[in-house]
Amino acid sequence: MLGLGKTRKRQFEVLCQRAGRWQTDAYFDDDKPALSRAEALLGDDKITAVKVMSQRDGLNGGIVEAELLFKERAAREKPIQITADNTPVKPCQEQKDFFALESRLAIGRLLRQFLDKLQITPSELLHSHRMMQRLDSTGNIAVAALGRIATGQAQVLKQPTRQRVDTLEKFAQQARNWARDYEAERKKLPPFDTDDLSRVRRRLRAALNDELRGDNAFLCHLAGHLTASPSVLGKLDIVIELMGRETGAEAVDLLEGVAADVLASPEALRDLMGAQPTLAQYIGLLACSVTGHTPEAPFPEGSPMPKLSGLMAAERAPQCRRVLVERLQVALASSVPLDQTQPENETALLQALLERLDDGASGLIGGEATGKAIAQRRQRQHVALRRKLGLE
């Protein structure tokens, strides 16, 4: 019976995982301080997991272990930041310019992370007081985006950056005021009747005695209507359906703005067009989308691109056309090979593309800007050939 009354030693080991490797942090005689220490360690960004092991002497010697706690540190979301983009933006001269396509494209480029996280378009952001509040509460990205745009515009206008910032802040504040006022007046305004959107637009303009304010209220109505869809692709389906109604002919330009915003999202456009194996096929598909021609390979099943392509071909979606043409031009001017699997055929592939970029009587899709992009690619082809021949 010797030793039966002896208390077996117990201790608690706290371990943490750093860079994928487990290491002992400390030992405790009681479980409570051990558990507290483990929880505290999770506050260190370099530690990915912790555990607490109970250890005691075994009856027949050795150590008996049991796991009391195992916990991984929850992944912290990276803070939303503005996109590093220095694309020149045409200066806004008046309030309506702040809501125009040029401005919305800039917002889409700079605030892409924020927009994608909330699954909203620039049009919705500019016409929803709630979304503007969300933006203002997300660090200082709104201020940073406005400052980036103002810096470039100030150089073009040859004026102090602070002066340009003040001008843009005034336009932004007016947009906030109108969105806030809409929320207060919404129940008194003509309702958003999707069966006759042309009439809705006329009535809103009359009720507010101002065309710009009336159109702003229409888009505030639309932003609220689009909350029925949790994704930008679902919102695109909604606006395309509304654009197809004859009773909404006078409001098509406002509806189409949202569609153009969606096309300006790289992720959304990729889903709409499907993954393309080569840059040449991607550019060719963009060209077919703009002209309404049937592409060599069909769009993904369920994609609304055929409908939208028809609207562009019928000149009922000029903003959408501009977005896709600019995408086409950027792709053409890039240094990415038209087909990375056969770089030796770059010249022949470009020549084949030129035939698809010819829009008949109207000439080259995108006109002079597309011609410039083609010239840039040809110049690179020429340099590559000279290097291959040892001439450079």
Tell me the per-residue pLDDT of 125-136, one tens digit each, with 9 for 90 and over: 999 999 999 999
| Average pLDDT over every residue of 217-232 | 95
Give residue 203's identity as a one-letter amino acid code: R
**Bridge partner list, 174:** none
Are residue 181 and residue 316 in the same domain, yes or no?
no
Which residues lie below 8 Å from residue 319, measured CB to CB, with a gap of 6+? 101, 253, 256, 257, 259, 260
Are residue 212 and residue 253 in the same domain, yes or no?
yes
Are residue 171 and residue 305 in the same domain, yes or no?
no
The reply to whether 3 falls in a domain is no
SS3 (DSSP) at 90: coil
Give me the sheet containing 10-18, strands edge to edge.
21-28, 10-18, 47-57, 63-72
Q: Do β-strands 47-57 and 10-18 pair in parallel, antiparallel, or remain unpaired?
A: antiparallel
The reply to whether 80 falls in a domain is no
CB 17, CB 47: distance < 8 Å: yes
| Average pLDDT over every residue of 345-366 | 86
Evaluate if residue 5 carries a pLDDT over 50.
no
The reply to whether 316 falls in a domain is yes
Helix (H), strand (E) at residue 28: strand 21-28
Are residue 104 and residue 250 in the same domain, yes or no?
yes
The reply to whether 85 falls in a domain is no
Are residue 214 and residue 233 in the same domain, yes or no?
yes
Residue 345: per-residue pLDDT: 87
Q: Taking the CA atoms of the chain, what radius of gyration do you get in angstroms?
A: 30
Two structure tokens written together for 175: 């947009």
Burial of 247 (0-12, 13-18, 19+ CB in 10 A): middle
Residue 392: per-residue pLDDT: 67
Least reliable range by pLDDT among 98-107, 188-197, 226-235, 344-353: 344-353
Two structure tokens written together for 234: 């679902």
CB 334, CB 346: distance < 8 Å: no
List, for residues 12-22, the tens digit of each pLDDT value: 999 999 888 89
Are residue 284 and residue 368 in the same domain, yes or no?
yes
- Structural domain range at position 342: 274-388
Evaluate if residue 79 carries a pLDDT over 60.
yes
Query: Token match 């505030």: residue?
Result: 220
Residue 241: per-residue pLDDT: 94
Are residue 196 and residue 141 in the same domain, yes or no?
yes
The reply to whether 4 falls in a domain is no
Q: Give CA–CA dist 269/327, Å, rounded.
A: 10
Evaluate if residue 231 carries a pLDDT over 90.
yes
> HSE on the CB side for 7, CA within 13 Å?
3
Evaluate if residue 1 carries a pLDDT over 60.
no
CB 265, CB 107: distance < 8 Å: no
Are residue 107 and residue 255 in the same domain, yes or no?
yes
Listed in sequence order, the DSSP H helices in 79-227 are 95-98, 101-110, 112-118, 122-126, 129-136, 141-157, 161-185, 197-208, 211-226
**Bridge partner list, 67:** 53
Residue 268: per-residue pLDDT: 95
**CA-closest candidate to residue 137, choices 150, 163, 118:** 118
The reply to whether 170 falls in a domain is yes
Are residue 294 and residue 247 in the same domain, yes or no?
no
The reply to whether 239 falls in a domain is yes
| Average pLDDT over every residue of 40-68 | 86
Are residue 225 and residue 249 in the same domain, yes or no?
yes
Q: Give CA–CA dist 137/320, Å, rounded.
A: 31
Are residue 106 and residue 245 in the same domain, yes or no?
yes
The last residue of a domain, from among 228, 263, 298? 263
Q: Do β-strands 47-57 and 21-28 pair in parallel, antiparallel, or remain unpaired?
A: unpaired
CB 220, CB 179: distance < 8 Å: yes
Q: Give CA–CA dist 73/92, Å, rounded.
A: 46
The reply to whether 88 falls in a domain is no
Are residue 102 and residue 62 in the same domain, yes or no?
no
Helix (H), strand (E) at residue 235: helix 232-243
Least reliable range by pLDDT among 128-132, 191-195, 247-251, 308-312: 247-251
Helix (H), strand (E) at residue 53: strand 47-57
| Average pLDDT over every residue of 177-184 | 96
Total domains in the fold of the chain? 3
Q: Give CA–CA dist 163/183, Å, rounded.
A: 31
SS3 (DSSP) at 202: helix
